[in-house]
Structure 1
Amino acid sequence: MHQILKSLVDSTPFLLGTMKDDVMIGIVDRERFLCYIPSTAIDLGVKAGDPIPPHDVNFQNALKGIPGAGRTPVEAYGVPFYGKTIPVKVGNEVVGAFGIGYNIQDQVLLEESMEKLNSIIDRLTDRVHTIAAHAEEHAATSETMQKNSSLTMERSNQTDKVLSFIKGIAEQTNLLGLNAAIEAARAGQHGATFSVVAKEIRKLSGDSANATVEVGGYLENVKASMREMVYGLEGITQSYHEQSQSVEEMTKMIELLHEISNNMNMYIKRMSQ
């Protein structure tokens, strides 16, 4: 063991006592651990003489003469932690490295929680977009149906004029048949044939009047149903508009969650630096 490395190993307990944070310390030569002192929170289970794991990029960099700093991959020791290492040189030769490890278990748990939160936010966003798209489609369909129903109502109201016209013709025809019957009676036997025609005219007039009343009743029922449909569609359309407003509010809340999540992720990155 090089003398400078031996001096570091001997002074490690004193160095550890001067540090405020709960850290672990490791000292290595070119191939193996010379000393390892665990922290209160983390014990890697490393012993003096154990080889340096190839996945410990911080120590590997330090042995190349490059100070290392960053999260040590879990593959190295099975435990995530943040490490800082510096090369130990004698002249220009790197004879070993000195490293400090920090507990980041809370940070890892926070990152896992943030990943779950982001996943929930993404699913919520997809659901809200789907609901919003369906609400817009239904609102458009309801508005179209409402317009068509209103147009049908207007057209059914126009049939009242037609029925009134037919009713007027029936009354005029009935009056004409009555006059014809009177004239046939005056003509006596010579007006017998004309009397039959007059009866048929009055019968036709009565049938027309009855049909007009019956059709009018049907149309009133249709108009009443159409009015109920229009009112119902107005309520549905209003409901879809309210649903769209709720979706907008949910979208704003999700955007706020996204913002909080991004801020938390930035905070986590700063913690790991």
Structure 2
Amino acid sequence: MSNRIIGLDVMEAFTKIAPYLNHLLNQDIFVSVMDTEKIIIHQPAKTFSLGTKNGDKIGEGWVGYKAMKEKKTKSLVVGKEVLGIPYQAIAEPVFDENDRAIGCIVVGASIEDTVRLQEIIGQFSQAFDQVGTGIQEISSSSQHLAEIGERLSTEFHHTKEDVKKSDEIIHMIQKIADQSKLLGLNAAIEAARAGESGRGFTVVAEEMRRLSEQSKTSGKEVKEILSNITIAIDNITDQAMETSAISEEQSSSTQEIAAATQELKAQLDELNSFIHKL
């Protein structure tokens, strides 16, 4: 394969350049060059150490050992619980002209910043999920409130119509009271003409006029009460309509915020996927 590292001279070149790679790449990395038995040179990272040194025997669990045995590039991610800092190591086997693995080059780097960034993205993503859920609840509540406002407005309209009908009834009662008063007056006149024999009729005429006056007075009071109720219904209807309009506007705004939140969350997910590919 064309991308394979071939030749002992390449291993020797890496051995010479290993102490400078950390500085040249401006990254916190370690470099190990090994043959099939031991570490030829190990250049530790600045912030963490594997605890290995030049001349150490290669263990079977080492990523370099596995790369040479399987004759392919191997990658290993180690969590911070091992050395206190998470890191990733990539092992590339070196072959001779007969395709035999004669050594390995291992380069490892701290991924602490990457892991921390993933944690932050995860926290943001979780927070956006919670915000999105809250916004949906607010939007749903706003829509429900708008529906209630519309229903109240309809009910108040019907009530106002009923009040108008009641006002017509009161007007009819007042008309009947006026007629009753006129009848009582005529009855009193006729009773006066009848003299002694019409005295009982006079009592009835007086009672009719009295009831007529009471009915007219009560009708005026009821009419005034109904008028106040109509004014109150108008005010409540206006407030219900205003509440409904505000709720609809709030629902629309929260939906826009929810859409923006989802878009930002999608961008964070995309960023997280990109980081995993690094």
TM-score, structure 2 normalization: 0.82
Mapped pair 1:85 → 2:91: yes
Contact 2:139 2:252 in 1 (8 A): no
In the TM superposition, residue 16 of structure 1 has moved relative to its aligned partner by: 5.5
Stretches of structure 1 lacking an aligned partner (at least 5 in a row): none
Distance 2:165 2:247 in 1: 32
Task: Quote the residue 1:215 is aligned against.
Answer: 222
Corresponding residue number in structure 2 for 1:238: 245
Q: CA deviation at 1:221?
A: 2.1
Give the Cα–Cα distance (whole angstroms) in 1 for the partners of residues 255 and 151 of structure 2: 23
Distance 1:253 1:265, change over 3 A: same
Moved more, 20-29 or 238-247: 20-29
1:12 to 12, 15, 27: 15
Distance, in Å, in 2 between the alignment partners of 1:162 and 1:179 is 25
SS in 2 for 1:44: coil
Cα displacement (A) at 1:219? 1.4
Deviation of 1:95 after TM superposition, in Å, equals 5.3
Corresponding position: 1:157 with 2:160 = no
Match of 1:255 in 2: 262
CA RMSD of aligned residues (A): 3.0
Looking at structure 2, the residues matched to 250 and 106 of structure 1 have their Cα atoms a distance apart, in angstroms, of 31
| Residue matched to 1:73 | 78
CA positional deviation for 1:80: 2.6
8 Å Cα contact 2:41-2:53 kept in structure 1: yes
Q: List runs of 5+ in structure 2 lacking aligned partners.
A: 1-6
- The partner residue of 1:37 within 39, 43, 49 is 43
8 A Cα contact 1:68 1:83, kept in partner: no
In the TM superposition, what is the alpha-carbon distance from 1:262 to its structure 2 partner? 2.8
After TM superposition, the structure 1 stretch with the greater mean CA deviation from structure 2, 158-167 or 144-153, is 144-153
> Taking structure 1 as the reference length, what is the TM-score of the superposition?
0.83
Name which of 199, 210, 213 aligns with 1:203.
210
Quote how far apart the aligned CAs of 1:73 are.
2.1
Percent pairwise identity: 26
Q: Write out aligned runs for 1:92-241 (5 A).
A: 94=101, 96-241=103-248
1:27 to 33, 38, 53: 33
Shift of the alpha carbon at 1:252?
Answer: 2.5
Distance in 2 (CA, whole Å) between partners of 1:264 and 1:194 is 102
**Residues 41 and 259 (structure 1), Cα distance of their counterparts in 2 relative to 1, 3 Å cut:** same
Task: Provide closer, same or farther for how the CA distance between residues 208 and 11 of structure 1 changes in structure 2, counting only shifts above 3 A.
Answer: closer
Closer/same/farther in 2, CA of residues 151 and 7 from structure 1, 3 Å limit? closer
Note if contact 1:87-1:97 (Cα within 8 Å) is conserved in structure 2: yes
CA drift at 1:93: 5.2
Alpha-carbon separation, structure 2, partners of 1:98 and 1:179 = 128
Deviations 1:159-196 (A, max 9, x none): 11111111111111111111111111111112111111
Q: Which residue identity is paired with 1:38?
A: P
Equivalenced residue count is 266
Give the residue type in structure 2 aligned to 1:235.
E
